């Protein structure tokens, strides 16, 4: 029977993370068990393999007979992991939940239900905040003894998206971890991680991917015979990705590579308010999900920034870029502050128009 098991084998361009995982799983000099820490902080930009690294490392940690970093594929734990039902692998994710309506629903959900929600959770389009109730419920489930009799692994994706109170709750657990439990905590930059959490975790660093790696992964993910993803579209997506295959794929999914004319006309060109209306229309084509509209707005600003830089480089006219950069920076800040996409785009266009006069 062939099974798809999560493994770190597919991880590209993350050699130092692989070394850290291998060191954790290496058999001690005395032939004794591997020296696994209570918590690992997998830090680095989004979309470079932290999630895949955590899933593969968790599978190897739970396996009864891992061969180096590779799970054996034959033990009970590997069987559970292949089926996505391992009772001692729990997690919370800004992408899949579990998202509870309220504290009551969180309390009522049994351990099995909580674990299933994590394993079977549907990916949502834009990531959400993780409420403290989800953190508490995860810790309740972890306090039970391991169903498989061995280690328990908790994956937290990611610390940046947990409500403040949830981070404090998690910290208490890292200080006094449940027995035989390993936490795999994902985070962006370590500078945003509280020192109290840093001091409890072994750090595993993930780096931005080289452009060649992003290009290769992007082409592999694209459906074969996708004429739309021609060479220039791929190059545009690779440059926008800034080392994140997750970002390149998201940009491809929303069709950002088709929006260069829109960005040029709507925000950089002389088309005036009609141009910016077209840009708003594209953002609204995402549907009514505000988070998804913000993703489109942010990516459209990034595309505009890239095209403005290109134009300044070819024309040697840096003055237009000087006028645009503060306006675009203000636009990114407004998106981050949850200002409505229409307001962001109109304010940006107004600032650019003013600077031109
Ligand atoms: Zn195994």
C-alpha distance from residue 241 to each of 17, 138, 192, 208, 332 (Å): 21, 33, 22, 9, 16
Q: Does 138 share its domain with 268?
A: no
The CA 57 to ligand 1 mean position distance, Å, reads 12
For the chain, what is the domain count?
2
Summarised one tens digit per residue, pLDDT across range 153-183 is 999 999 999 999 999 999 999 998 888 999 9
Which residue intervals of 130-210 are DSSP H helices?
Answer: 132-142, 164-175, 195-198
The span from the CA of 128 to the CA of 291, in Å, is 8
145 and 219 together in one domain: no
- The model's pLDDT over 208-221, given as tens digits with 9 standing for 90+, comes to 999 999 999 999 88
d(C-alpha 47, C-alpha 136), whole Å: 27
Distance from C-alpha of 267 to C-alpha of 278, rounded to nearest angstrom = 10
Beta bridge partners of 311: none
The answer to whether the beta carbons of residues 81 and 57 sit under 8 Å apart is no
Rounded to an integer, what distance in angstroms lies between the CA atom of residue 354 and that of residue 357? 5
Q: How far is CA 277 from CA 92, 116, 274, in A?
A: 39, 44, 5
> How does DSSP classify residue 31?
S
Nearest CA among 342, 357, 330 for reference residue 266 = 342
Residue 3 lies in a domain: no
Residue 2 lies in a domain: no
Q: How far is the CA of 302 from the centre of ligand 1 (A)?
A: 44
Q: Tell me how many degrees the CA angle 230-235-240 measures, rounded to the nearest 5.
A: 125
CATH number at residue 75: 3.40.50.300
Q: Are residues 291 and 180 in the same domain?
A: no
Higher per-residue confidence, 88 vs 29: 88
What's the gap in Å between 296 CA and the centre of ligand 1?
A: 42
Cis peptide bond upstream of 157, omega within 30: no
118 within some domain: yes
The distance of Cα 356 from the centroid of its chain, to the nearest Å, equals 38
Sheet holding 89-93, edge to edge: 89-93, 152-157, 181-187, 39-43, 202-205
Compute, in angstroms, the gap from residue 82 CA to the centroid of ligand 1: 10
Q: How far is CA 306 from CA 237, 242, 260, in A?
A: 11, 11, 10
Between 126 and 71, where is the model more confident?
71
**CB within 5 A of ion ligand 1: which residues?**
63, 71-72, 75, 78
Tokens representing 238 are 């690779």
- Judge if 167 and 265 occupy the same domain: no
Kindly state the average pLDDT of the residues 4-19: 91
Residue 29 confidence class, pLDDT cut points 50, 70, 90: low
DSSP 208: P
d(CA 64, ligand 1 centre) in Å? 5
Q: What is the pLDDT of residues 128-159, one digit of tens each?
A: 899 999 999 999 999 998 888 889 999 999 99
CA of 68 to the centre of ligand 1 (A): 11
Residue 1 within a domain = no
Residues 237 and 340 reside in one and the same domain: yes
Residues in the chain: 357
Cα of 66 vs centre of ligand 1, distance in Å, is 6
Same domain, 295 and 174: no
For residue 3, pLDDT over 70 is answered with no
Q: What are phi and psi of 252, to 5 degrees?
A: -65, -40
| DSSP letter, residue 84 | T
Paired tokens of 69: 């970093």
Q: How far is ligand 1, taken at its centre, from the CA of residue 125, in Å? A: 32
Would 184 be classed as within a structural domain?
A: yes
| CA angle centred on 46, ends 128 and 116, rounded to 5° | 50
Residue with tokens 């800034």: 242
For residue 199, tell me if it sits in a domain: yes
Query: 73 CA distance to ligand 1 centroid (A)?
Result: 5
263 by Cβ neighbours in 10 Å (0-12 / 13-18 / 19+) ranks as: buried
CB-based contact 16:160 (threshold 8 Å) = no
Given a cut of 50, is residue 274 above it in pLDDT? yes
Q: How many helices (H) and strands (E) does the chain have?
A: 16, 5
Do 102 and 244 share a structural domain? no
Range of the domain at 278: 211-356
Tell whether 235 and 340 lie within a shared domain: yes
| Same-domain pairing of 14 and 144 | yes
Per-residue pLDDT, averaged over 187-206, amounts to 95
Q: Are residues 196 and 221 in the same domain?
A: no
C-alpha 356 to ligand 1 mean position (Å): 64
* Ligand 1 centroid to residue 80 C-alpha, Å: 9
pTM attached to this predicted model: 0.88
Domain final position from 159, 187, 205: 205
Are 39 and 185 within one domain?
yes
pLDDT of residue 285: 93
pLDDT mean over 112-116:
87
Q: Is 133 helix (H, G, I), strand (E, B) or coil?
A: helix
Q: Maximum Cα–Cα distance for the chain, whole Å?
A: 75
Residues 191 and 279 in one domain: no
Q: Is 114 domain-assigned? A: yes
- Give mean pLDDT, residues 177-193: 93
In a domain, 66, yes or no: yes
Which residue, 184, 205, 226, sits at the end of a domain? Answer: 205
Residue ending a domain, among 205, 230, 263, is 205
Which of 25-34, 280-289, 296-305, 327-336 bottoms out in mean pLDDT, i.e. has the lowest? 25-34
């Amino acid at each position: 029977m062939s099974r798809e098991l999560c493994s770190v084998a597919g991880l590209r361009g993350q050699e130092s993370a692989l070394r850290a995982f291998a060191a954790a799983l290496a058999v001690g000099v005395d032939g004794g068990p591997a020296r696994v820490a209570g918590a690992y902080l997998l830090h680095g930009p989004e979309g470079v393999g932290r999630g895949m690294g955590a899933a593969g490392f968790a599978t190897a940690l739970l396996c009864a007979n891992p061969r180096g970093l590779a799970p054996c594929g034959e033990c009970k734990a590997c069987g559970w992991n292949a089926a996505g039902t391992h009772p001692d692998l729990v997690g919370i994710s800004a992408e899949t939940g579990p998202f509870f309506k309220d504290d009551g629903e969180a309390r009522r959900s049994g351990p099995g239900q909580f674990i299933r929600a994590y394993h079977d959770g549907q990916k949502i389009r834009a990531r959400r905040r993780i409420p403290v109730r989800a953190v508490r419920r995860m810790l309740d489930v972890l306090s039970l003894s391991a169903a498989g009799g061995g280690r328990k692994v908790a994956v937290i994706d990611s610390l940046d998206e947990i409500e403040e109170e949830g981070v404090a709750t998690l910290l208490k657990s890292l200080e006094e971890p449940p027995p035989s439990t390993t936490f795999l905590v994902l985070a962006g930059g370590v500078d945003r991680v509280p020192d109290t959490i840093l001091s409890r975790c072994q750090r595993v660093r993930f780096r931005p991917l080289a452009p060649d790696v992003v290009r290769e992964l992007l082409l592999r993910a694209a459906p074969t015979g996708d004429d739309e993803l021609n060479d220039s579209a791929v190059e545009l997506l690779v440059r926008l990705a800034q080392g994140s295959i997750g970002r390149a794929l998201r940009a491809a999914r929303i069709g950002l590579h088709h929006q260069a004319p829109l960005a040029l006309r709507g925000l950089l060109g002389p088309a005036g308010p009609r141009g910016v209306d077209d840009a708003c229309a594209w953002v609204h084509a995402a549907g009514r999900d505000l988070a998804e509209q913000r993703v489109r707005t942010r990516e459209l600003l990034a595309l505009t920034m890239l095209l403005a830089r290109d134009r300044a480089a070819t024309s040697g006219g840096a003055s237009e870029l000087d006028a645009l950069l503060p306006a675009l920076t203000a636009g990114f800040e407004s998106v981050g502050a949850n200002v409505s996409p229409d307001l962001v785009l109109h304010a940006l266009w107004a600032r650019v128009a003013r600077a031109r006069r």
